[in-house]
Amino acid sequence: GRDAGDLCGIGPVGVQATDDIGALIALRPDALVHYGPTAAHADDNIRVTGAFLRAGIDVCSTAMTPWVWPWMTLNPPQWVAPIEEACATGGSSCFTTGIDPGFCNDLFPMTLMGVCSQVRSVRALEILDYQNYEGDYENEMGIGRPPEFVPLLEHSDMLVMAWGATVPMIASAAGIELDDITTTWKKWATDKPITCAKGTIEAGCVAAVNFTINGVYGGETRIQLEHVNRIGPDAAPEWPQGTQPDVYRVEITGTPSIFQETAFRFTDSSGRDAATAGCLATGMRALNAVPAVNDLPPGWVTALDLPLIAGRGSIR
């Protein structure tokens, strides 16, 4: 019952917050824009989004990254079938996006591939400093743990399911069927303590990870996602760096070859960091997609189904 603005610490905005799903459905909104938890809370995400879809309300979400490409073979059937049933029952559509996996490694590379006569390889990188990040990177990525600790995402199938959805999407867009999807995982341990938002990474513990998800076609890696996530700018100095901190990069080797680097920043003197800017962009991708998703037939929606979303109304 509290004002949503008060919950966000910005003062009243006249929108009342509620956890009553039935009351929200009764409002008959154009869509549910769902910034829910990760796939670690799949049952809750399916329950909430499924209720709206079954009621005929489209969903644009950033929660379940495997839904970025729902036909990925590693997606558990119990994560897919209930949403397909809900969409069929309600005649509704479900679109899931993100920043990575999401528009930085689906929309950006696929758009640039569209101006090439030949693509020999396409690579999308996330190069981020997690020094101010407060998410769960210890158990998922092993950052802050001893090198011998095996984090959740070091398991190849788990990594592909959680982060690799855009690899088969790009393959589908290019009209090919991949031979295989492989992964690599590297760790970098610090030799001195590093202070970060979550405390201290002790000497001898992992302070950076570098992983790849590789789409193999014709015996070669032709589509690759790569992450370089470090704690502090001095961690793993030999690994890929951006031309500036905290960037997303697309590298296409082809005719022509293309290099694109994107940085998300606030330039309003608010002091908000690059991670916050990236989170805002992630949210706006889902929100701005609502009219286009409303116009599409029932069922799954991916980046390949959407028209150009040009930010109508953003210049004001």
pLDDT of residue 153: 95
Q: Is the pLDDT of residue 26 over 90?
A: yes
pLDDT of residue 246: 96
Q: How far apart are CA 123 and CA 55, in angstroms?
A: 40
Task: State mean pLDDT over 230-237.
Answer: 96
pLDDT of residue 283: 97
Task: State mean pLDDT over 271-298.
Answer: 96
pLDDT of residue 52: 98
Q: What is the pLDDT of residues 54-63, one digit of tens each?
A: 999 999 999 9
For the ranges 5-14, 214-223, 270-279, the one whose mean pLDDT is highest? 214-223
Task: State mean pLDDT over 202-226.
Answer: 98
**Averaged confidence pLDDT in the chain:** 96
Q: Are 142 and 151 in contact (CB under 8 A)?
A: yes
For the ranges 128-137, 180-189, 305-314, the one whose mean pLDDT is highest? 180-189
Q: Count CB neighbours of 69 within 10 A.
A: 24
Q: Is the pLDDT of residue 1 over 90?
A: no
User: Between the CA of residue 21 and those of 26, 43, 179, what are the distances in Å?
Assistant: 9, 15, 43
Please tell me the pTM assigned to this model.
0.94
pLDDT of residue 257: 98
Task: State mean pLDDT over 281-305.
Answer: 98
3-state secondary structure the chain: CCEHHHHHCCCCCCCECCCCHHHHHHCCCCEEEECCCCHHHHHHHHHHHHHHHHCCCEEEECCCHHHHCCCCCCCCHHHHHHHHHHHHHHCCEEEECCECCECCCCHHHHHHHCCCCEEEEEEEEEEEECCCCCCCHHHHHCCCCCCCCCCHHHCHHHHHHHHCCHHHHHHHHHCCCCCEEEEEEEEEECCCCEEECCEEECCCCEEEEEEEEEEEECCEEEEEEEEEEECCCCCCCCCCCCCCCCEEEEEEEEECCEEEEECCCCCCCCCCCHHHHHHHHHHHHHHHCHHHHHCCCCEEECCCCCCCCCCCCCCC
pLDDT of residue 300: 98
Closest CA to 125 of 147, 104, 141, 148: 104
Q: Phi/psi of residue 17, each to 5°?
A: -80, 150
